Amino acid sequence: MKKLVLAIAFIGMGGFAMAQQTTTPQDRQARAVEMKQKMEQKQQERLDQMQKDLNLNPSQVAQIKALQDKRKAEMMAEFDKHKADRQAKMQEMHAKRAQMDADMKKVLTPDQYDKWQADRKAKAEKMKMAMKERKMMKKPMNTGTAEVK
């Protein structure tokens, strides 16, 4: 019983510690616009660098930009095409999880069910933290040339 209380208290404190500020739709839209501007700026910087490195003329730059825009449009169309599939899979996954939850509730006693739920939440939080750590541990790849001694 002590372990259960401690586990629930630990999870509760972890939840408060990990609480994140909620974002509004306006914040998301502003972030999306900002990201789009950054992506366009990066694309222009890469194009300028190509022009400098390859000594491209203005006609070639325009053709390359058109190719890049065409590829970007194709990728977005592909993304949109698969969006419905992703949403359907997510709904299916949620339904399966709800069914599993209902089945476990039938099998377990209320105390066992609460303990199972707490354990499941703790494992999910642990996984989330591990993913964040992995993301933070990734280092940008060195795109420069290697030195030869």
Q: How do residues 93-144 score in pLDDT, each as one tens digit? A: 999 999 999 999 999 999 999 999 999 999 999 999 999 888 887 755 555 5
Mapping DSSP onto H, E and C, the string for the chain reads: CHHHHHHHHHHHHHHHHCCCCCCCHHHHHHHHHHHHHHHHHHHHHHHHHHHHHHCCCHHHHHHHHHHHHHHHHHHHHHHHHHHHHHHHHHHHHHHHHHHHHHHHHHHCCHHHHHHHHHHHHHHHHHHHHHHHHHHHHCCCCCCCCCCCC
pLDDT band at 83 (very low <50, low <70, confident <90, very high): confident
Closest to 61 in 3D by CA, of 76, 43, 74, 73: 43
The pLDDT value recorded for residue 149 is: 43
Residue type, 91: Q
Q: CA 44 to CA 65: how far, in whole Å?
A: 9
pLDDT band at 6 (very low <50, low <70, confident <90, very high): low
Look-up of token digits 């999910």: 124
Closest to 4 in 3D by CA, of 126, 128, 122: 122
Query: Of the given ranges (4-13, 30-39, 137-146), which has the lowest mean pLDDT?
Result: 137-146
Residue 146 CA: distances (Å) to CA of 49, 138, 142, 143, 149: 20, 20, 9, 9, 10
pTM for this one? 0.46
Closest to 15 in 3D by CA, of 110, 111, 124, 113: 124
